[in-house]
Amino acid sequence: MRYLLLIIAVIAALLILKQLYGSRKQPTNKKIPASTTVVRCEHCGVHIPKEEALCIDQQYFCSEEHRRLHRS
């Protein structure tokens, strides 16, 4: 009977700790607001927020490297 009560107490403590520390975690995936405009990288085709893209001659790129590779 003591072992059963001990197991129940340990499970309850773990659940309480999980609730306390689980609520502090930050979400790993970053959501883009619905009003944000996204553009397509001319080199790889990935869609990125317009504010984060490199715009050269009305063409958008996700990185400087992709801009350079697209030009060559």
Choose among 26, 4, 7: nearest CA to 15. 7
- Going by pLDDT thresholds of 50, 70 and 90, the confidence category of residue 70 is confident
Beta carbons within 8 Å of 39's beta carbon, 6+ residues apart:
47, 48, 49, 50, 53, 60
Question: DSSP states of the chain as a string?
Answer: -HHHHHHHHHHHHHHHHHHHHHTTPPPSSPPPPTT--EEE-TTT--EEEGGGSEEETTEEESSHHHHHHHH-
The answer, as to whether pTM is greater than 0.75, is no
Q: Give per-residue pLDDT as tens, 40-51.
A: 999 999 999 999
